[in-house]
Chain A
């Protein structure tokens, strides 16, 4: 771990086997490689498991109300454009309760980076249906399985003529670092979706341990270097502008 993580706050509150710890460590490495530190960067999170991300970073950070990380970040960036402002939050926070802000801050092309850790449900509250849940997902609030398509994050993130969208997983560390690094360096609004699963709540027979989960992600997702619409199981970077 580098000194951009608050060592005194470890261990984090996250469950054993949850990939959030890997993402936190690699995020800190990316910031260090880009020369970002407490003198020039601010981390903003919303509410949820990923919402605790900001509090572990050794720099000024803001832990907002549920869904409001993006507008708080936009206020910070507009008030002081010299700061590098990075939002790290969950799928329910950014695309459920905070979906409207995602639409409009991206449209205004505010120069912030949003890193969305998508575990396809509301984990901290026990595992309820989220806008990102797959068809058939059995959760505490969809006991018969979800009947509707998940929200199209790629589509939403590439709506505007100028856009930056990346999809990756914590099982592909070099690719994940590349996505975060390019997004933070991008001038304008950039969005990184990190696909994962909730180790505790997703009740999948496919992964009982963190190791199982990483292996599953590794075989499920394939990297493409092409700048085009990604298929369901593809990872890559789509940018325009």
Chain B
């Protein structure tokens, strides 16, 4: 097929349909609305919901009813979805949630890109849970990792995030999406209407609530965490560009990594694509470098986690959200 000019949001629509999406519910929000608009024309079961709380609840119900399901939003809607995300973890329901980030807090600068929801994606819902998240950096990757997000959700039986941002969602690139070949993970959860199962947000054992059993809670949490971590191990996506002339490793992700690529002559570069769970590979790779720099469009959210993960000090270059000038990056990275 010839190449076509496609933006990030359209690539997410195409990726979701390729993955077998059967249900979408959502609420309009900049910069994610085009995903919803695109899917409203696709012929799949679709609800233009009253808010993001309803959207996430509907995709959970639809997924239990047997359809691969997705919703897409931006920061304010992602905050509203946090209670449903916890429910889907507790009930072990596969769903995909796209968060196209914009500048916050609150309504902030809605049309400008940011990476300010990294910690919310890591631990936004209440209680302990394991986050699985992908963050592509190109239109082709938006397509590819939407499909992988569905695969990971089916395998881990939990919500999986695809993070993007206002810039990547609206970035047009010339791509041949049909040339991308990814095998699809099929569903093994039997749809509703086939038994007497009880899906509940309460801690439960075979459908029976166990709300006073702390010993069982510990057993349950361990096996839950092991299952999700083991499933996520099959999706260790990252990009590493070595540089033998540099003792510094620059870590960046998502759209900002495209700008950081300009500095490949000066530094070694590492880009996590599966940003959560944190990749064990970063530990090994980072050992080769005297200095680690994390540059991101927020006030050092990923750096905070990596510092604890790597148990070493990290140089932080928090360029924040909004329009980022290459000179700002140069100043932060090279101290110029």
Is there contact, CB below 8 Å, between B23 and A60? no
Flag whether B47 is at the interface (Cβ < 8 A). Answer: yes
Bound-state CA distance A79–B62 (Å) is 5
B54 touches A71 (CB 8 A): yes
- A103 within 8 Å of B (CB atoms): yes
Known: A38-B195, A60-B194. A55 touches B200 (CB 8 A): yes
- Whether A71 contacts B57 by the Cβ 8 Å rule is yes
Q: With A and B bound together, what is the CA distance between A20 and B282 in angstroms?
A: 56
Among the listed B25, B50, B195, which residue makes an inter-chain contact with A75, where contact means beta carbons less than 8 Å apart?
Answer: B25
In the complex, the answer to whether B209 meets A72 with C-beta atoms within 8 Å is no
Q: Residue B84 contacts which of A40, A55, A68, A103 (CB distance < 8 angstroms)? A: A68
Is B108 an interface residue, CB under 8 A from the partner?
A: no
B207 closest partner in A (C-beta): A55
Give the distance to chain A from B212, nearest Cβ to Cβ, in Å.
12
Chain B contacts for A185, CB-based, 8 A: none
Q: Which residue of A lies closest to B60 (CB)?
A: A72
Bound-complex Cα distance A72 to B192 (A) = 12
CB distance from B272 to the nearest CB of A (A): 31
Say yes or no: is B299 at the interface (Cβ < 8 Å to chain A): no
Residue contact A79 to B45, C-beta cutoff 8 Å: yes
**Set B87, B195, B202: member contacting A60, Cβ < 8 A:** B195
Residue of B nearest to A38 (CB): B196
The answer, among B59, B87, B198, B207, for a CB contact under 8 Å with A65, is: B87
Majority SS at the chain A contact face: mixed
Binary B-proximity of A43-73 (CB < 8 A = 1, otherwise 0): 0100000000011011111111100100111
| CB pair B192 A65 closer than 8 Å | no
Smallest distance from the beta carbon of A168 to chain B beta carbons, Å? 27
A174 on interface, CB distance cutoff 8 Å = no
State A79–B82 Cα separation when bound (angstroms): 22
Q: Which residues of chain B have C-beta atoms less than 8 A from A42's C-beta?
A: 65, 192-193
Q: Is B51 an interface residue (CB 8 A)?
A: yes
Contacts of A68 in B (CB 8 A): 53-54, 57, 83-84, 87
Contact in complex: A79, B22 (CB < 8 Å): yes
Please, which residues of chain A bring their CB within 8 A of the CB of B86? 65
Q: In the complex, A40→B191 CA distance in Å?
A: 11
Partner of A83, one of B25, B192, B207, B208: B192
Instruction: Give chain B residues whose Cβ lies under 8 Å from the Cβ of A63.
Output: 198-202
Closest A residue to B25 by beta carbon equals: A75
Give min CB distance, B153 to chain A, whole Å: 16
Asked whether, in the complex, the Cβ of B197 is within 8 Å of the Cβ of A79, the reply is no
The listed residue (B25, B63, B193) touching A40 by CB distance below 8 A is: B193
Residue numbers in B under 8 Å from A100 (CB-CB): 50-51, 54
**A239 to B301 CA separation, bound complex (whole angstroms):** 55
Q: Which of B157-204 contact A (CB under 8 A)?
A: 191-202
Contact of A80 among B55, B84, B193, B197 (CB under 8 A): B193
- Give chain A nearest CB distance to B159 CB in angstroms: 14
Q: What is the distance, in angstroms, from B203's C-beta to the closest C-beta of chain A? A: 12
B193 to A75, Cβ gap below 8 A? no
Interchain CB contact under 8 A, A64 and B196 = no
Q: Say yes or no: is B66 at the interface (Cβ < 8 Å to chain A).
A: yes
Beta-carbon nearest neighbor of A101 in chain B: B54
Contacts of A58 in B (CB 8 A): 196
Q: Which 6 A-B pairs have the closest CB atoms?
A: A75-B61, A75-B58, A79-B62, A71-B57, A63-B200, A79-B65
B residues near A, CB below 8 A?
A: 22-23, 25, 45, 47, 49-51, 53-55, 57-67, 69, 83-84, 86-87, 91, 191-202, 207-209
**Could you list some 26 contacts between A and B, CB below 8 A?**
A38-B194, A42-B65, A54-B198, A57-B196, A60-B193, A60-B198, A60-B199, A63-B198, A63-B201, A64-B57, A68-B83, A68-B87, A72-B60, A75-B61, A75-B62, A75-B64, A76-B65, A78-B45, A78-B58, A78-B62, A79-B23, A79-B61, A79-B62, A79-B65, A101-B50, A104-B54
